[in-house]
Structure 1
Amino acid sequence: MSGTPIAEHAFLSDGHTSALVTREGSVDWLCLPRFDSPAVFARLLDDEAGHFLLRPANPDAVAVRRYLPQGLVLETVWTCATGTLVVRDCLALGRHDRGHDLGQTSPGVLLRHARCESGQVDIVVQWVPRPEFGLIHPRLAATSGGVVARGGATVQLLSTNLPMTISESRTTRESRGEPGTAEARATLEAGEQLGLAMQQAPAWGEELKGWSARRIARTVDRTDAAWRSWSDLHQRYRGPLERLVHRSGLVLQGLTYAPSGAIVAAATTSLPEGVGTDRTWDYRYTWVRDASLTLRGLWVAACPDEAARFFAFFARAAATQLERGLPLQIMFGVGGERDLSERELPHLHGWRGSAPVRVGNGAWTQRQQDVYGALLDAAYRLRPYLSDLEEPTRTLLVAAVETAAATWQEPDQGIWEIRGPAARYVHSALMCWIALDRGISLAPELGATDRTPRWTTIRDQIKAAILTEGWNERVGAFTQRFGGDELDAATLLIATSGLLPANDPRVRGTIDAVAAGLSDGRGLILRYRGGDGLDGVEGSFLLCTFWLAEALAVTDRVEEAETVLHRGAGYASDLGLLSEEVDAATGELLGNIPQAFSHLGLVLAAHALAEAIERRAPRSG
Structure 2
Amino acid sequence: MPYRPQLADYGFLSDCRSGALVGLTGSVDWWCPSRFDSPSVFGRILDPTAGHWSLAPAGAGLPGHRVRREYLPDTLVLRTVHDTPDGSVAVTDALAAQPGARGHELGLNSPAVLLRVVEGLRGTVPMRSEFVPRPEYGLLTPYLHGLPGDAVLAAAGPVTLTLRAGVPLRPGDSRVVTPFRVSAGQTIGFDLSYAPAYGGPPTLLEPVAALAETVRAWQAFRETHRYDGRYAPLVRHSATVLQGLTYAPSGAVVAAPTTSLPERIGGDRNYDYRYSWLRDFAMTLRAFWVAACPDEASRLFAWVARSIGRIGDAPVPVMFGLAGERDISEHELDHLAGYADSRPVRVGNDAWRQRQLDVPGEVISAVWRLHHLLGTELDVELREMVIDLAGQVAATWHLPDRGMWETRDVDRHYVSSKVLCWVALDRAVRLAPRLGDRAEPARWARVRDEIRAAVLEQGWNERVGAYTGAFGSPELDASVLFLPVVHFLPADDPRMRATIGVVERELGTADGLVRRWSTDPAGFVLCSFWLVECLVMAGEHERGRVLFEKVVARANDVGLFAEQIDPDSGAHLGNMPQALSHIGLINAAWRLTDPTTA
Which interval holds the TM-score relative to the shorter structure?
over 0.9
* Alpha-carbon distance, 1:346 to partner: 1.4
1:379 equivalent in structure 2: 367
User: Is 1:236 matched with 2:237?
Assistant: no
User: Is 1:337 matched with 2:325?
Assistant: yes
**For 1:147, which of 149, 152, 161 is the aligned residue?**
152
In structure 2, distance between residues paired with 1:71 and 1:523: 29
Partner amino acid, structure 2, of 1:39: S
> Given the superposition, is the C-alpha separation of residues 313 and 297 from structure 1 closer, same or farther in structure 2, using an over 3 Å criterion?
same
In structure 2, distance between residues paired with 1:448 and 1:377: 21
Classify the secondary structure of the residue corresponding to 1:132: helix
**For 2:183, which of 166, 169, 189 is the aligned residue?**
189
1:164-203 matches, cutoff 5 A: 164-168=169-173, 180-203=174-197
**For 1:554, which of 518, 523, 537 is the aligned residue?**
537
Conservation of the 8 A alpha-carbon contact between 2:96 and 2:110: yes
Q: Which segment drifts farther, 24-33 or 513-522? A: 513-522
1:106-117 matches, cutoff 5 A: 106-117=110-121
> Given the superposition, is the C-alpha separation of residues 557 and 271 from structure 1 closer, same or farther in structure 2, using an over 3 Å criterion?
same
In structure 1, distance between residues paired with 2:57 and 2:374: 51
In structure 1, distance between residues paired with 2:106 and 2:203: 24
Q: Deviations over 1:35-83 (max 9, x none)?
A: 0000100111111111111112233432210000011111112223333
Conservation of the 8 A alpha-carbon contact between 2:281 and 2:366: no
* Alpha-carbon distance, 1:95 to partner: 2.2
In structure 2, distance between residues paired with 1:269 and 1:447: 43
* Alpha-carbon distance, 1:256 to partner: 0.7
**For 2:256, which of 257, 263, 266 is the aligned residue?**
266
Q: Deviations over 1:57-113 (max 9, x none)?
A: 233432210000011111112223333322211111112422233211211111111
In structure 2, distance between residues paired with 1:101 and 1:138: 33
* Alpha-carbon distance, 1:596 to partner: 0.7
Q: Deviations over 1:242-279 (max 9, x none)?
A: 32222111111111100001111011111110111111
Conservation of the 8 A alpha-carbon contact between 1:265 and 1:595: yes
**For 1:611, which of 572, 594, 597 is the aligned residue?**
594
> Given the superposition, is the C-alpha separation of residues 442 and 2 from structure 1 closer, same or farther in structure 2, using an over 3 Å criterion?
farther
User: Is 1:282 matched with 2:286?
Assistant: no
Q: Deviations over 1:537-569 (max 9, x none)?
A: 632211111111111111111122122212221
2:463 equivalent in structure 1: 474
**For 2:503, which of 514, 527, 544 is the aligned residue?**
514
User: Is 1:208 matched with 2:207?
Assistant: no
User: Is 1:57 matched with 2:58?
Assistant: yes
**For 2:215, which of 202, 211, 224 is the aligned residue?**
224
User: Is 1:122 matched with 2:110?
Assistant: no
TM-score, with normalisation over the residues of structure 2? 0.95
In structure 2, distance between residues paired with 1:154 and 1:259: 21
* Alpha-carbon distance, 1:523 to partner: 3.6
In structure 2, distance between residues paired with 1:247 and 1:194: 29
Partner amino acid, structure 1, of 2:254: V
* Alpha-carbon distance, 1:602 to partner: 1.4
> Given the superposition, is the C-alpha separation of residues 152 and 499 from structure 1 closer, same or farther in structure 2, using an over 3 Å criterion?
same
Partner amino acid, structure 2, of 1:52: W
Classify the secondary structure of the residue corresponding to 1:601: helix
1:412 equivalent in structure 2: 401
- Gaps of at least 5 residues in structure 2 are none
Partner amino acid, structure 1, of 2:335: H
In structure 2, distance between residues paired with 1:109 and 1:445: 46
Q: Deviations over 1:116-159 (max 9, x none)?
A: 13332222111111001111011101012310011112111112
Q: Which segment drifts farther, 361-370 or 180-189? A: 180-189
RMSD, aligned CA: 1.8
* Alpha-carbon distance, 1:386 to partner: 2.6
Classify the secondary structure of the residue corresponding to 1:42: coil
1:483 equivalent in structure 2: 472
* Alpha-carbon distance, 1:493 to partner: 1.1
Q: Deviations over 1:414-444 (max 9, x none)?
A: 0011111111111001001111111122223
2:45 equivalent in structure 1: 44
Conservation of the 8 A alpha-carbon contact between 1:492 and 1:511: yes
Conservation of the 8 A alpha-carbon contact between 1:542 and 1:582: yes
Q: Deviations over 1:193-252 (max 9, x none)?
A: 1111112222122333533xxx2211111111111112111241420x332222111111
* Alpha-carbon distance, 1:521 to partner: 5.1
Q: Which segment drifts farther, 328-337 or 538-547? A: 538-547
* Alpha-carbon distance, 1:520 to partner: 4.1
In structure 1, distance between residues paired with 2:537 and 2:563: 24
Conservation of the 8 A alpha-carbon contact between 2:65 and 2:84: yes
1:510-549 matches, cutoff 5 A: 510-520=499-509, 522-529=511-518, 538-549=521-532
User: Is 1:247 matched with 2:237?
Assistant: yes
User: Is 1:102 matched with 2:106?
Assistant: yes
1:586 equivalent in structure 2: 569
Partner amino acid, structure 1, of 2:208: A
Classify the secondary structure of the residue corresponding to 2:154: strand
1:397 equivalent in structure 2: 386
Q: Which segment drifts farther, 274-283 or 384-393? A: 384-393
2:427 equivalent in structure 1: 438
Classify the secondary structure of the residue corresponding to 2:280: helix
Partner amino acid, structure 1, of 2:229: R
Conservation of the 8 A alpha-carbon contact between 1:580 and 1:591: yes
> Given the superposition, is the C-alpha separation of residues 449 and 505 from structure 1 closer, same or farther in structure 2, using an over 3 Å criterion?
farther
* Alpha-carbon distance, 1:302 to partner: 3.6
1:8 equivalent in structure 2: 9
Partner amino acid, structure 2, of 1:107: P
Q: Deviations over 1:479-531 (max 9, x none)?
A: 1111222211111111122222332111101101111121245442111135x
Count the aligned residue pairs.
591
In structure 2, distance between residues paired with 1:234 and 1:384: 19
Classify the secondary structure of the residue corresponding to 1:55: strand
- Runs of 4+ in structure 1 deviating by more than 4 angstroms, as ranges, are none
Partner amino acid, structure 2, of 1:608: R
In structure 1, distance between residues paired with 2:73 and 2:438: 47
In structure 2, distance between residues paired with 1:450 and 1:435: 13
Partner amino acid, structure 2, of 1:406: A
> Given the superposition, is the C-alpha separation of residues 209 and 466 from structure 1 closer, same or farther in structure 2, using an over 3 Å criterion?
closer
In structure 2, distance between residues paired with 1:148 and 1:391: 51
Partner amino acid, structure 2, of 1:193: T
Conservation of the 8 A alpha-carbon contact between 1:127 and 1:181: yes
> Given the superposition, is the C-alpha separation of residues 334 and 390 from structure 1 closer, same or farther in structure 2, using an over 3 Å criterion?
farther
Partner amino acid, structure 1, of 2:224: L
Q: Percent identity of the aligned residues?
A: 44
Conservation of the 8 A alpha-carbon contact between 1:67 and 1:74: yes
Partner amino acid, structure 2, of 1:206: G
In structure 1, distance between residues paired with 2:178 and 2:254: 36
Conservation of the 8 A alpha-carbon contact between 2:288 and 2:296: no
* Alpha-carbon distance, 1:454 to partner: 1.6
* Alpha-carbon distance, 1:381 to partner: 2.0
Classify the secondary structure of the residue corresponding to 2:594: helix
In structure 2, distance between residues paired with 1:449 and 1:514: 42
Q: Which segment drifts farther, 338-347 or 388-397? A: 388-397
**For 1:463, which of 442, 452, 455 is the aligned residue?**
452
Conservation of the 8 A alpha-carbon contact between 2:17 and 2:110: yes
> Given the superposition, is the C-alpha separation of residues 417 and 601 from structure 1 closer, same or farther in structure 2, using an over 3 Å criterion?
same
> Given the superposition, is the C-alpha separation of residues 121 and 445 from structure 1 closer, same or farther in structure 2, using an over 3 Å criterion?
farther
Classify the secondary structure of the residue corresponding to 1:185: strand
In structure 1, distance between residues paired with 2:165 and 2:560: 31
